[in-house]
Structure 1
Amino acid sequence: MGKKIGKKLFTKMSSVLLASAMLVSVVGCSSGTTNETAEPTISSDFNQEGLPIVNKPVTLKVLTVRWGNMGDTFTQNQWLKDLEKDSNVKIEWQVMSSNDWGEQKSIMLASGTLPDIILGDQVFSDSDIVNNLSYFRPLDEYIDSYMPNLKAAMEETPDMKKISTFPDGKIYSMPTRLPSRPKSRNQPVINKAWLDKLGLKAPTTTEELYQVLKAFREKDPNGNGKKDEIPYTETGLNVDFLNPFGITDINASSMIVQDGKPVFYPTTDAYKEALIYTNKLYSEGLIDQELFTQDNTMTSAKWQNADISIVGFSNQWTPDAVFGKWSDQYEAIAPIAGPDGKRYQPGDPGGMNLARNELLITTSCTVPEVAARWADQFYSNEASIQNFWGAIGTVIKKNDDGTYTLMDPPAGTSADAWYWDQSLRDFGPKYVSPSFEEKIKLNPQAGDGLKLQIDQLGSADVTTPYPKVMYNAEEFQELPTLTTDIDGYVATMRAQWVTKGGIEEGWDAYIKKLNEMGLEQLLTIRNNAFERYMNVK
């Protein structure tokens, strides 16, 4: 969803740094083992309100992880520089590449020596945090005492508190609400040039989709005299292809919510019906015969075939997401209606904009109140848009009428790449209120603005997803074995039934095998986590 890689390789932390002592500041951030948390002492230099946060400079170490070779150019964001000056909180950035982080993360967690602040949900996963809770400070009291912006955001958008509450009822990580996000995720994208060539309309039902894909296969829509058209291709069977049957799974959990209750959809009649339909298309050559054997490189080569477009249909974030120089041939269409006559669009009725684990204060930091007040500055509307796109005056123009528009990126640079270069983008704490979003004016022809335009096609059909629930330590111990076995078996049988058929004859044995693998226990864990999430007040 726009998380793209920048231009130059940048890695500022090594394993040596991970084991180094924390910087001792004027107020006193220091290291030491995190199992014996130092009690914070509020200095007379600390101001509970207003700026500066401290009268004498304090240095905090902040660790974040960036995609691939993005680097640390975001640290030159003018808002961040102004905050450092105005708050008297100096930041020593520790920027890691995602290419190296897996190994370095293990070293850090094993050593127990952490920086003062962890920023961005790519640094530590839920299980990393839950299994190492002694390294992180509970934030509830800090939110109440020092974070009025976040406290107000949670009151206005209660799901921010739900998503951030751990199984023990405490908040250890801060959430985000990204600005100007759509309700829908991927939508059907079709080769409009092919439709026009064949005099066809965009399909609206699964039967119409079948007929269109059949025409794509048989009637040479790319006009090269060869039968090289691939009506539909992906790397594996994307669950989005099953959307018309009521199967929408944005969190890759194999769970959907029906009538307010969580359901494991690989055992439902709708799933069976979806695979019977998909097998029909596959057996007639309307789906790529290499669907389950190709990798992403092979798929991309087909989407962006050098000589002529050869792919007819897919599910994508925007039409220009993957088709390269052929992008102009494609357009997004409304969700395809299923056999029940209804349309199901993957996404979230509340918006695809919430995430947790965007900022944690570690027990290595002896001035958590300073860290909390620093973090709270990110939760104003103007701070949030500047940390999502770039600074006002650099990337964003603040207009006289109180609205905000995005400037054009430098020549030769995509808008998305520019935003990642200039800001924290998806990572880090943010909150843009729904009312403030009306002041943000985006270009409807490109980037985030284009997605919002496309969103109108399916936003009314967005289903309620199984939420981003939180698991406790015991559940995290059981889940890997259960999901590895069960998800692996489901994927194997899905590929077999799509390519060879036989789902009716094999269904009962399939259900029996899943139960033997511990499906009941998996569903107990999923249901308990769901209940905890829904009961957060």
Structure 2
Amino acid sequence: MVKATKFATKTVALVSILALLVAGCSGNSGDNGKNGTNGGSDTAGGFNKEGLPIVNEPVTLDVLTVRWGNMGDSFTKNAWLQELEKNSNVKINWQVMSSNDWGEQKSVMLASGELPDVIFGNLAFGDSDIINNLNYFRPLDEYIDQYMPNLKAAMEETPEMRKISTFPDGKIYSLPARLPSRPVSANQPVINKAWLDKLGLKAPETVDELYQVFKAFKEQDPNGNGKKDEIPFSNSGDIEMQLLTSFGITNLRGNNMMIKDGKPEYFPISEEYKEGLKWVHQLYAEGLIDPETFTQDNTMLSAKRQNPDAPLIGFSYQWTPDAVFGQWSGQYETIAPIAGPDGKRYQEGDPNGLSFRRNEVLITSFNEHPEVTARWIDQFYTGEASIQNFWGAIGTAIEKGDDGTYSLMAPPDGISADAWYWDNSLRDFGPKYASPAFEKNIKLDTSTGDGLKMELDKLGKEHVTEPFPEVMFTAEEYQELPTLTTDINSYILSTRAQWVTQGGIDENWDAYVKQLNDMGLQKLLKIYEDAYNRYMKAE
């Protein structure tokens, strides 16, 4: 079995890769689960189909997971994980990778043709990685049916769990998660309340009112330092897209698709997109949007947000208002979505909740104990297991009340709640299922962290637009998508930047749409529509 040190190899000679590929193809089970639940050797080693321990004699599994940056492996000390290891007799050799260099490591691993027993978390392998390497991963339908009663019940109670996990061939290769206590709204509008109060203004409710507030922020010195250094609006990412939310345009999946009136719509060629960009250009032309919008990096933006002498930014879109502004965080508050020209409010998010994940667990075809592994994974799909792998163990990060409720404990001094949860748990990654009924027993502090976000969600949840669903593409579609999207998306971004900074959208609109069609837009839309139709037909 390949170990962590081997996975971390930075350079591999081509001859070594080829040798490993041959060895991997001939020296492992390699049947991609074609033999069903008879593909492993579990029944010969004291395997128990029910109850604990899962096996009478210890079995060790190599489990790889990818974490953000330099988060490390502190989560492995989670008391629930350690208790499961003791009670199940399944020992885990955790192989923790950093997202910083995972792309290179992943390529080497896939080229070598040899993988660990289990992959945890959707940072490791995406849809295309799986679909293009199906022989590396076991189909899991039979394992779910025979060895995973918790997940099976979750899929019956919440059909979306099965729907998002079903691949175009009708099989399930990776397992999903439903995270606990997740909001419906994504990033929400955040404004400097201290500036509003000083200028005698109320929080804006429409795009016209927002324009007037931006003008006041720019011209009336709300930070009180005697300088005209206020920036009415600045943020990271495609901030022009954030402003287009008021025009009913959201892009939760990052693919320029959304659902409008029950049908898929490609919004970069919509009238709302066109009219919205005219408004954004007006803001830019009058100096109401950060002039460094298209050139600044996160370091520059962070310096503005946390300027030591005075707050500089009046408005942005954030997960919570205390997320990024440092010492000035107390001046900011989240407000309701800004109504557009049609009088309606729109909020980016998902009416079904931002709780569903797929590709959270894969059992590889190199795994010699698939039944044991399936039963081990199934232990994660209970309410108590899920919250302990999202926030931390009961007694460490969670307090269980005599009335059956669960409350989050305060983090140690000097540590943010979010950082503490990541240290104590798998957090966003790995298998989980917190049912709607179980969530009612979770008590969150509404002044901070996840509890604060759930409270702020009340401002936006009724206005959330319907995003394009988390569809899957076929191997053939994945071959075409990069060619189409690379050129098309680049052209859309460049024209959008030009129209925001220089204007001219009316004069150039027809030529823009024609150019997109010449670049293969209709073929791209056909791929999206086919994937959408498959998704909607899935059970």
> Could you say whether these structures have the same fold, taking a TM-score greater than 0.5 normalized by the shorter chain as the test?
yes
Q: Shift in Å at residue 12 of structure 1?
A: 5.0
SS at match of 1:479: helix
Which residue is equivalent to 1:60?
Answer: 61
Q: Shift in Å at residue 35 of structure 1?
A: 4.0
Task: Say which of 423, 428, 447 aligns to 2:449.
Answer: 447
Taking the aligned partners of 1:235 and 1:394, their CA distance within structure 2 comes to 35
SS at match of 1:175: strand
Amino acid at match of 1:453: E
Question: In the alignment, is the contact (CA less than 8 A) between 1:174 and 1:360 conserved in 2?
Answer: yes
TM-score scaled by length of structure 2: 0.94
Task: Say which of 239, 248, 259 aligns to 1:257.
Answer: 259
Q: Measured at CA, do residues 386 and 16 of structure 1 come closer, stay the same or move farther in structure 2, by a change above 3 Å?
A: closer
Instruction: Point out where structure 1 has 5 or more consecutive residues left out of the alignment.
Output: 1-10, 21-29
SS at match of 2:471: coil
**For each residue in 1:260-296, what CA deviation from the matched residue of structure 2 results, as whole angstroms up to 9, or x when unmatched?**
1111000000000100000111111111111112112
SS at match of 2:365: coil
Task: Say which of 396, 399, 417 aligns to 2:398.
Answer: 396
SS at match of 2:394: coil
Mapping of 1:132-281 within 5 angstroms?
Answer: 132-235=133-236, 237-238=238-239, 239-281=241-283
Mapping of 1:276-295 within 5 angstroms?
Answer: 276-295=278-297
**For each residue in 1:438-487, what CA deviation from the matched residue of structure 2 results, as whole angstroms up to 9, or x when unmatched?**
11111110000000010000111111110111111111111111111011
**For each residue in 1:490-531, what CA deviation from the matched residue of structure 2 results, as whole angstroms up to 9, or x when unmatched?**
000000001110000000000000000100011001111111
Amino acid at match of 1:80: L
Which residue is equivalent to 2:324?
Answer: 322
Which residue is equivalent to 2:87?
Answer: 86
Task: Say which of 324, 347, 369 aligns to 1:345.
Answer: 347
**For each residue in 1:375-420, what CA deviation from the matched residue of structure 2 results, as whole angstroms up to 9, or x when unmatched?**
0000000000000000001110001111011111111111111111
SS at match of 1:96: strand
Question: In the alignment, is the contact (CA less than 8 A) between 1:444 and 1:453 conserved in 2?
Answer: yes
Q: Shift in Å at residue 187 of structure 1?
A: 0.5
Q: CA RMSD in A?
A: 1.7
Taking the aligned partners of 1:74 and 1:47, their CA distance within structure 2 comes to 28
Instruction: Point out where structure 2 has 5 or more consecutive residues left out of the alignment.
Output: 17-24, 34-38
Taking the aligned partners of 1:13 and 1:234, their CA distance within structure 2 comes to 39
Q: Measured at CA, do residues 454 and 376 of structure 1 come closer, stay the same or move farther in structure 2, by a change above 3 Å?
A: same
Amino acid at match of 1:233: S
Q: Shift in Å at residue 182 of structure 1?
A: 0.4
Which residue is equivalent to 1:125?
Answer: 126
Question: In the alignment, is the contact (CA less than 8 A) between 1:34 and 1:112 conserved in 2?
Answer: no
Which stretches of structure 1, 4 residues or more, deviate above 3 A after TM superposition?
Answer: 11-20, 33-38
Q: Measured at CA, do residues 476 and 392 of structure 1 come closer, stay the same or move farther in structure 2, by a change above 3 Å?
A: same
Amino acid at match of 1:40: G
SS at match of 1:62: strand
Structure 1 residue 490 corresponds to structure 2 residue 485: no
Which residue is equivalent to 1:303?
Answer: 305
Amino acid at match of 1:32: G
Taking the aligned partners of 2:127 and 2:5, their CA distance within structure 1 comes to 23
Structure 1 residue 517 corresponds to structure 2 residue 512: no
SS at match of 1:327: helix
Question: In the alignment, is the contact (CA less than 8 A) between 1:67 and 1:97 conserved in 2?
Answer: yes
Structure 1 residue 32 corresponds to structure 2 residue 27: yes
Q: Measured at CA, do residues 16 and 284 of structure 1 come closer, stay the same or move farther in structure 2, by a change above 3 Å?
A: closer
Question: In the alignment, is the contact (CA less than 8 A) between 2:29 and 2:367 conserved in 1?
Answer: no
Q: Measured at CA, do residues 527 and 34 of structure 1 come closer, stay the same or move farther in structure 2, by a change above 3 Å?
A: farther
**Range 267-276 or range 232-241, more displaced:** 232-241
**Range 324-333 or range 35-44, more displaced:** 35-44
Mapping of 1:449-488 within 5 angstroms?
Answer: 449-488=451-490
Which residue is equivalent to 1:27?
Answer: none
**Percent same amino acid among aligned pairs?**
67
Mapping of 1:411-450 within 5 angstroms?
Answer: 411-450=413-452
Taking the aligned partners of 2:464 and 2:261, their CA distance within structure 1 comes to 15
Taking the aligned partners of 2:437 and 2:94, their CA distance within structure 1 comes to 33
TM-score scaled by length of structure 1: 0.94
Which residue is equivalent to 2:117?
Answer: 116
